[in-house]
Amino acid sequence: MGAMMDSDSTLHKTPCAHISNSLAIAAVAAALTLLAAAAPPALAADNAPSAADQQCLGCHGAAGMEKKLADGDTLKLHVPAELFAKSVHSPNTCASCHSDIDPTAHPPSKKDIKSARSYAVAANEACRGCHVDKFKEWEGSIHAALVRSGNPAAPICSDCHSPHAIIKGAAAKLEQTPCQNCHKEIHTAYLGSVHATSRQKSADSYAPICSGCHNAHDVKPISFHEGQGAVCTGCHAGVLEKHQEWLPNAGLHFAAVSCAACHASEAQRKVDLMLIDGQAKPRGTEQLGVPLFDASTRSDSKGINAQTLWNLLQTLNRDDAAGNKTILRGRLSVRTGPQAHQLADKSKALSDCHTCHRQGSQAFQSVTISLVGPEGRRVGYGANADVLNSPFSVDAVSGFYAIGGNRIWLLDILLALAILGGRGIAIGHVALGWIFKRLGLYDPHTGGHGDPPVENDGPKAA
- What is the rounded distance in angstroms from the CA atom of residue 45 to the CA atom of residue 126? 28
| pTM over 0.85, yes/no | no
- What is the rounded distance in angstroms from the CA atom of residue 399 to the CA atom of residue 229? 15
Q: What is the pLDDT of residues 179-233, one digit of tens each?
A: 999 999 999 999 999 999 999 998 888 899 998 888 889 998 765 545 566 788 8
- DSSP letters, 120-187, are HHHHTHHHHTT-HHHHHHHHTSHHHHHHHTT-TT---HHHHS-TT---TTGGGSGGG-GGGGT-HHHH
Query: 49 to each of 38, 106, 162, 179, 462, how far by Cα in Å?
Result: 17, 19, 18, 31, 120
Q: What is the rounded radius of gyration, in angstroms, for the C-alpha atoms of the chain?
A: 38
DSSP reduced 3-state for 5: helix
DSSP3 helix / strand / coil % (the chain, rounded to 5): 50, 10, 40
- What is the rounded distance in angstroms from the CA atom of residue 318 to the CA atom of residue 309? 14
Beta-bridged to residue 371, according to DSSP, are 379
Q: Would you place residue 408 in the very low, low, confident or very high pLDDT band (cuts 50, 70, 90)?
A: low
Of 26-40, 158-172, 381-395, least confident by mean pLDDT is 26-40
Count CB-CB contacts under 10 A for residue 311.
Answer: 13
260's CB contacts (< 8 A; 6+ apart) are 228, 267, 333, 334, 339, 340, 341, 342, 343
Q: What is the pLDDT of residues 423-438, one digit of tens each?
A: 566 666 666 666 656 6
- What is the rounded distance in angstroms from the CA atom of residue 253 to the CA atom of residue 251? 5
Residue 160 has φ and ψ, to the nearest 5°, of -95, -30
CA-closest candidate to residue 233, choices 243, 224, 223: 243
Q: Specify the pLDDT at position 288.
A: 63
Q: Would you place residue 1 in the very low, low, confident or very high pLDDT band (cuts 50, 70, 90)?
A: very low
DSSP annotation of 304: B
DSSP annotation of 35: H
Of 94-108, 282-296, 339-353, least confident by mean pLDDT is 282-296
CA-closest candidate to residue 231, choices 203, 251, 211: 211
14 pLDDT higher than 60? no
CB 297 within 8 A of CB 369: yes
Question: Strand pairing of 367-372 and 269-276?
Answer: parallel
DSSP reduced 3-state for 191: helix
